[in-house]
Amino acid sequence: MYIVTGGAGFIGSAMVWKLNSMGIDDILVVDNLGTSEKWKNLVNRRYSAYLHRDAFIERVRNRSLTGKIEAVIHMGACSSTTERDADFLMQNNLEYSKTLCLFALENGARFINASSAATYGDGSQGFDDDPDAIDALRPLNMYGYSKQLFDLWAKRQGLLGSLASLKFFNVYGPNEQHKGDMRSVVNKAFHLIGEQGVMRLFRSDHPDFPDGGQMRDFVYIKDCVDIMWWLLQNSQVNGIFNVGTGKARSWNDLATAVFSSMDQPANIAYIDMPLQLKGKYQNFTEARMDRLRAAGYTVPMRSLEQGVADYVNKYLQQPDPYL
């Protein structure tokens, strides 16, 4: 059995899709569906059971889960970078993850954890995923801090040689419809361009970057799950790893790629950055992929243009936009 927490969410449901494509359907999906539209991400998928996250962690603590567990793919967390309830994030993102990690390792299961590029803060310390460099990182929001705390805990417990913790950069792709304002800019741009024929980007408040010239490492969801599948096949590869393309691109590049995929001329307008983001905005992120490549992962990453075209043409423009 494979356990995927956050299995109805964005990256989690994409990983269920990847497992299905590899002929695996003995999957326990763990999530908190509530009144959201996340359930739609599961309609096309095959899995053996679903458990609410609270019922699942209770079974973990009671040791009442039965059957051999091949892997725990822990994508379940609150991923809102604007969440202000620090106690909730400590419990939901940190303590839950620690409990699940120890459970997986005690049962001889592969443990893959979702960390985040938000741990890098303003980027002044670089984007090096070497474990020796993580102590100096200073996240800019509580979400990033909760992810940082798990990586630090795993390091201090001597567990980094037994698990894979993945620092996802700016992930985009199908199955993010339910995320509301946390959807990728690709998704937002597609709908805005379709409705108004224009894409709006933030003006820059940093002299080194022009308007819309702030740069991020945009990584396509299919590349993310390909990496996780490879890690499942190579359980000897452990530690903290960046998951990005290794090449930063500007928001202007992203918007232009969406316009191109929709066969429309680029029409970009610039708006002021919200006050709550000033001083907390990452103007540049770029994943260093050296460690993952050195570990043996050689598959090329899709370019921004390739990923956006696949997302727009195969999903967003289709009646059923889900994996």
Instruction: Note down pLDDT in tens along the chain; length 323 residues.
Output: 999 999 999 999 999 999 999 999 999 999 999 999 999 999 999 999 999 999 999 999 999 998 899 999 999 987 777 677 888 888 888 999 999 999 999 999 999 999 999 999 988 899 999 999 999 999 988 899 999 999 999 999 999 999 999 999 999 999 999 999 999 999 999 999 999 999 999 999 889 999 999 999 999 999 999 999 999 999 999 999 999 999 999 999 999 999 999 999 999 999 998 887 777 777 899 999 999 999 999 999 999 999 999 999 999 999 999 99
| 167: helix, strand or coil | strand
User: Could you give the residue numbers annotated as active site?
Assistant: 143, 179
Domain 2-172+218-246+284-302 fold is Rossmann fold (3.40.50)
DSSP string, 35-100: TSSGGGGGTT---SEEEEHHHHHHHHHHT---S---EEEE--S---TT---HHHHIIIIIIHHHHH
Distance CA 87, CA 287 (A): 29
Q: What is the pLDDT of residue 237?
A: 98
Report CA 229 to chain centroid distance, whole Å.
Answer: 15
| 25: helix, strand or coil | coil
| 139: helix, strand or coil | coil
Q: What is the pLDDT of residue 77?
A: 84
Number of H helices, E strands in the chain: 10, 13
Give the Cβ contact number of residue 57 at 10 Å: 19
Evaluated on CA atoms 25, 28, 33, 36, the torsion sign reads negative
Q: Where are the alpha helices (DSSP H) in the chain?
A: 10-21, 53-62, 86-89, 96-106, 142-156, 185-196, 221-233, 251-261, 290-294, 304-311
Are 111 and 104 spatial neighbours (Cβ–Cβ below 8 Å)?
A: yes
Distance CA 110, CA 163 (A): 7
pTM: 0.95
| 302: helix, strand or coil | coil
Q: Which residues of 192-220 are buried (b: 16+ CB within 10 A; e: fewer)?
A: bbeeeeebebbebeeeebebbbbbbbbbb
DSSP state letter for 141: S
Residue 132: is it exposed, middle or buried by C-beta count within 10 angstroms (0-12/13-18/19+)?
Answer: exposed
Q: Which residues pair with 168 in a beta bridge?
A: 116, 243
